[in-house]
């Protein structure tokens, strides 16, 4: 969640910090703040609300300091107030700190520090870290020599239970910055005589491509000109430097009114990227270079457990249909947050697959770690290159969807669906799927980007449908088979970005309770694409119309659905069952986006949400 940026170098820190926070604002926008050295003073400026409020306070100030830290907050402990905004300062004024994560034992630490004379001005768990570092900095400080600040941070973190990504400054060490991580991302950027810290490489990607992804239990010290990497055990570590593959233009709106809308329209390219170079030369199957499992090992898999959260969970629910149909392997889908605390029986032929756009989703990361602790092979699908999940999984597949700035997942979701369909094809070809059927599925997948472009051409028509329903307060989304999870995703998108109450259901389940909600003011959004049970779906539509309900429907072009039973049709191309969930998703995204904009919502930064969920 929260966004962290830090800079130590030779240029003015103010503009660098504000630019970094702008690029990280999707991680949290309850409040924001910066702390930077100005002469012998450590200045702290904070503001409640979006980053614009901070910019109005900081912008006019003539601050020339070259070392500083910044933070944009998604509130966990404590309300949305300036006192609770970061950076936090120790009560003796010596330590300033920004923090992403949750300190689970903060109450006990706070009680101890109060007994030592330290004071608190916020309700946050983060402030205890600033005071705890100050306590260790003061205690026996002279005996620690030039590494006094770094050692104080290390000693403080030995007492912390929970998660953290931090960047810290010390008043008496004005050229130094220290960072550390545990289950909350932190990346070091290395420039020419300068270093950056960020919870997301996007915070500084426009300035340097030379990065080090910190692992859990690692600390970094820098004065800008140089850096060192150690762990909590004081071991000196060799930094694994990587070149970041990041297009700064991808972080701009490029003429679109909102990132969400831009990223919806980027889906044809994202789908192309997901498939590029991943089909066999004979065109009968998919192949992946990073699975780290041989075909023989994959043939021995007798059960697959998929773990994810939020939108990625719905991608996994769809994949259950793909994999069981094409590969005939039993699949179970688990919320990662529940899986990690269950003791579900799994035999030795079970494969665990985790899915996370960011690769930093804490519940998914911990579910993966739990499965690996029990000896299971874990593969991952993620868009986060260098992320914790990518580094800790036994093998996996990168989405290559490009940066997704909008908080609500769009192109990352359809990219996940595409890759999961390709994986189902690959597993199917290892088993009973014929060569001819494999060729057919490959051709179906290759056609999806062009078909997605066709769907996007209906943007104006979908906008008009949204205008007709923009005042509704409730909506139902209904689908069957592989389109049922897409109905769940459609309801989630509408809730996220327009704050309309929405529910997703299997269409046939309407008559078992939800049909009681039907009124003329509660539209029903059907995914009524041609399939072998289309007639059943049409019957469900009739049941709602008979009770005065309004029908919006995603319908296959040329469908036999009677025009008179659908008030607002949205057409998608006739397509194979594998392609329909991807194509049917796009109208739901556009509808939600337009509904949010029409209702005056910030669809890029929905209230109470953040892009990367790195806390429980």
As annotated, the active-site residues are 2, 611
Residue 135 sits at the vertex; the CA angle it makes with 130 and 141, to the nearest 5 degrees, is 120
d(CA 177, CA 227): 9
Question: What are the C-alpha distances in Å from 326 to residues 313, 426, 513?
Answer: 20, 9, 33
DSSP annotation string for 78-130: S-SSTTTSSSEE-TTS-EEEEEES-BTTHHHHHHHHHHTT----SS-SHHHHH
Burial of 609: CB neighbours in 10 Å, binned 0-12, 13-18, 19+? middle
d(CA 345, CA 494): 36
| Residue 337 CA, distance from chain mean position | 15
Contacts of 445 (CB under 8 A, 6+ apart): 275, 279, 418, 421, 422, 425, 578, 579
DSSP annotation string for 583-595: HHHHHHHHHHHHH
- Which of 76, 74, 67, 59 minimizes the C-alpha distance to 25? 74
- Three-state DSSP string of 299-316: HCCCEEEEEECHHHHHHH
What is the spatial order of strands in the sheet that 164-170 belongs to? 88-89, 95-100, 164-170, 173-182, 218-222, 227-231, 236-237
Question: What are the C-alpha distances in Å from 22 to residues 28, 45, 52, 281, 496?
Answer: 11, 16, 9, 44, 21
Terminal alpha carbon distance of the chain: 10
Cβ-contact 425, 579 below 8 angstroms: no
Cβ-contact 92, 118 below 8 angstroms: yes
Q: Six-digit token pair at 389?
A: 């999940």
Half-sphere exposure (CA, 13 Å, Cβ side) for 311?
A: 27
d(CA 118, CA 604): 40
Residue ranges in 59-100 assigned as alpha helix (H): none
Cβ-contact 44, 89 below 8 angstroms: yes
d(CA 174, CA 471): 54
Question: What are the C-alpha distances in Å from 233 to residues 155, 184, 187?
Answer: 10, 19, 20
Report the DSSP pairing between strands 3-8 and 67-73.
antiparallel
| Residue 473 CA, distance from chain mean position | 27
Report the DSSP pairing between strands 350-356 and 331-335.
unpaired
Residue 266 sits at the vertex; the CA angle it makes with 264 and 269, to the nearest 5 degrees, is 140
* Tokens 């629910």 belong to residue: 317
Q: Six-digit token pair at 215?
A: 């692992």
- Which of 465, 483, 461 minimizes the C-alpha distance to 475? 465
């Amino acid at each position: 969640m929260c966004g962290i940026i830090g800079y130590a170098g030779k240029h003015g820190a103010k503009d660098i910090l504000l630019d970094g926070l702008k690029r990280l604002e999707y991680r949290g926008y309850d409040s924001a703040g910066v702390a930077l050295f100005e002469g012998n003073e450590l200045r702290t400026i904070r503001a409640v609300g979006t980053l614009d409020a901070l910019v109005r306070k900081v912008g006019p100030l003539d601050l020339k300091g070259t070392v500083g830290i910044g933070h944009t907050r998604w509130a966990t402990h404590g309300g949305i107030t300036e006192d609770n905004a970061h950076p936090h300062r120790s009560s003796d004024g010596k330590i300033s700190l920004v923090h992403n994560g949750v300190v689970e034992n903060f109450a006990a630490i706070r009680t101890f520090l109060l007994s030592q004379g330290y004071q608190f001005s916020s309700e946050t768990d983060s402030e205890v870290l600033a005071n705890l570092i100050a306590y260790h900095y003061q205690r026996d400080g002279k005996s620690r020599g030039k590494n006094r600040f770094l050692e104080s941070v290390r000693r403080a973190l030995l007492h912390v239970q929970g998660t953290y990504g931090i960047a810290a400054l010390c008043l008496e060490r004005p050229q130094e910055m220290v960072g550390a991580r545990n289950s909350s991302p932190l990346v070091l950027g290395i420039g020419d005589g300068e270093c950056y810290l960020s919870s997301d490489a996007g915070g500084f990607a426009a300035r340097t491509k030379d990065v080090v992804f910190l692992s859990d239990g690692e600390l970094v010290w820098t004065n800008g000109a140089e850096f060192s990497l150690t762990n909590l055990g004081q071991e000196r570590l060799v930094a694994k430097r990587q070149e970041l593959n990041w297009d700064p233009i991808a972080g701009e709106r490029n003429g679109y009114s909102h990132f969400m809308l831009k990223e919806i329209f980027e889906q044809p390219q994202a789908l192309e990227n997901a498939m590029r170079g991943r089909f066999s030369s004979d065109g009968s199957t998919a192949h992946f270079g990073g699975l780290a499992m041989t075909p023989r090992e994959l043939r021995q898999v007798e059960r697959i457990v998929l773990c994810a959260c939020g939108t990625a969970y719905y991608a996994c629910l769809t994949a259950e249909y793909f994999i069981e149909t094409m590969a005939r392997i039993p699949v179970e889908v688990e919320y990662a947050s529940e899986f990690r605390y269950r003791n579900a029986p799994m035999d030795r032929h079970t494969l665990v697959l985790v899915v996370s756009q960011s690769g930093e989703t804490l519940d998914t990361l911990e579910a993966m770690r739990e499965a690996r602790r029990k000896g299971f092979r874990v593969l991952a699908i993620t868009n986060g290159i260098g992320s914790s999940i990518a580094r800790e999984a036994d093998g996996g597949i990168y989405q290559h969807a490009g940066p997704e700035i909008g908080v609500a997942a769009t192109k990352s979701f359809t990219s996940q669906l595409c890759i999961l369909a390709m994986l189902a094809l690959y597993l199917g070809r290892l088993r009973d799927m014929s060569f001819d059927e494999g060729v057919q599925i490959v051709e179906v997948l290759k056609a999806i980007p062009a078909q997605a472009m066709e769907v996007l051409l209906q943007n104006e028509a979908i906008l008009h449908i949204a205008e007709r329903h923009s005042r509704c307060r409730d909506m139902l989304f209904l689908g069957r088979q592989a389109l049922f999870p897409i109905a769940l995703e459609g309801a989630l998108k509408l809730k996220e970005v327009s704050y309309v109450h929405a529910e997703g259901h299997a269409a046939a389940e309407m008559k078992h309770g939800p049909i009681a909600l039907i009124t003329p003011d509660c539209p029903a959004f059907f995914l009524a694409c041609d399939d072998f049970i289309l007639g059943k779906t049409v019957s469900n539509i009739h049941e709602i119309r008979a009770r005065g309900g309004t029908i919006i429907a995603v319908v296959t072009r040329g469908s036999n659905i009677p025009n008179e039973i659908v008030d607002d049709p949205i057409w998608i191309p006739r397509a194979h069952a594998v392609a329909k969930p991807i194509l049917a998703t796009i109208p739901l995204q556009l509808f939600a986006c337009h509904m949010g904009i029409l209702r005056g919502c910030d669809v890029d930064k929905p209230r109470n949400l953040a892009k990367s969920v790195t806390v429980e």
